Amino acid sequence: MPKAIVVHEIGGPEKLTWEDVPDAPLGRGEARIRQTAIGLNFIDVYFRTGVYKAPSLPLVPGQEAAGVVEEIGPDVSEVKVGDRVAYAGIPGAYAQSRVVPAARLVPVPDGISDQQAAAMMLKGMTAQYLLLRCGRPRRGDTILFHAAAGGVGVIACQWAKHLGVEVIGTVGSPEKARLAFERGCAHVINYNKENFVHQVNEITRSTGVAVVYDSVGKTTFRASLDCLRPRGMMVSFGQSSGVVPPFDILILSIKGSLFLTRPTLNSYVATRGELLETAGDLFDVVLSGAVKIDIGQTYPLRDVAQAHVALEARATSGSTVLAP
């Protein structure tokens, strides 16, 4: 019987338990995959702690993984047995094997390992839509990217540089500052030692940035608005420090007719065509060498509680991969 990580009640990392789980029946349009590598993301913490409400309990967390197709159900044309595949945005990834809708699986090309695919699907496709379809900074623009040494950050900053965009990144330590510089940032601000609003104004000569990308949330949101140029865009796509509190939208007018969006990946890969295009752009930019996938740390899946502790303490860099 395969094993999985199961959450029976909302709470801390200790609620992540390693258990036997029965094989799910294979239905129409579905595929069974043996998972070889699983990605860790902050959204996993949100579901474990109840920031995002799970549809039901018990819950198997996790949103992305890579593996091999072992069996397909009726009416499956997207994949075949033996294919190397990956996915993102499908809850239940913390498992040795599972059943998923075949239409949400993406074939993994030669040249990209299962570990790389698991480390980059959710984070890399997030970087794709943030840069190419959401904030859309132009060549020559300057952007501010919070958590520049995190899983999304190290991918997005490299990609932005590849697009000709100047990146100002924020980090929390000298070690992460070095990684951010190596991965595309033209300027790096240690928010534990420097006021990032003051530093952004210095760097941009008080003109502000075109886009702020913020996955930190509560502790950075309001100050980030002060970093934007008139008609700039605030892209709030996470809340690792806590949920952004309610605010008066007139602030957006007062600060220069600012734009604000709170996007999710699922909205940008809602159709199979969008999914394949988004993943294809990601695979292409990685295979070209313009974007390197940093796997900063690896944990056995059974020890995922330790990985959650490190992630919440912001003690990780790049992507974390779990080995089933």
| Structure-block tokens of residue 20 | 């036997």
Q: What are 167-201's pLDDT values in tens digits?
A: 999 999 999 999 999 999 999 999 999 999 999 99
Q: What are 82-122's pLDDT values in tens digits?
A: 999 999 999 999 999 999 999 999 999 999 999 999 999 99
**Cα dist from 280 to 103, 201, 269, 276, 293, whole Å:** 15, 36, 12, 6, 15
3-state helix vs strand vs coil in the chain, percent to 5: 35, 25, 40
Q: What are 255-310's pLDDT values in tens digits?
A: 999 999 999 999 999 999 999 999 999 999 999 999 999 898 999 999 999 999 99
Q: What are 137-168's pLDDT values in tens digits?
A: 999 999 999 999 988 999 999 999 999 999 99
- What Rg, from alpha-carbon coordinates, does the chain have? 20
pLDDT grade for 319, boundaries at 50, 70 and 90: confident
Q: Which fold has domain 3-121+269-323?
A: Quinone Oxidoreductase; Chain A, domain 1 (3.90.180)
Looking at residue 250, what is its pLDDT? 97
What ranges in 204-271 are assigned the alpha helix state H? 221-225, 250-254, 265-268
Q: What are 263-272's pLDDT values in tens digits?
A: 999 999 999 9
Q: Please give the single-letter amino acid code of residue 132.
A: L
Domain residue ranges of the chain, discontinuous segments joined by +:
3-121+269-323, 139-262
- The sign one gets for the Cα dihedral 44, 235, 162, 208 is negative
pTM of the model: 0.92
Per-residue pLDDT at 318 exceeds 80:
no
Distance CA 206, CA 319 (A): 34
| Structure-block tokens of residue 178 | 């070095």
- Considering the domain 139-262 in this protein, what is its CATH number? 3.40.50.720
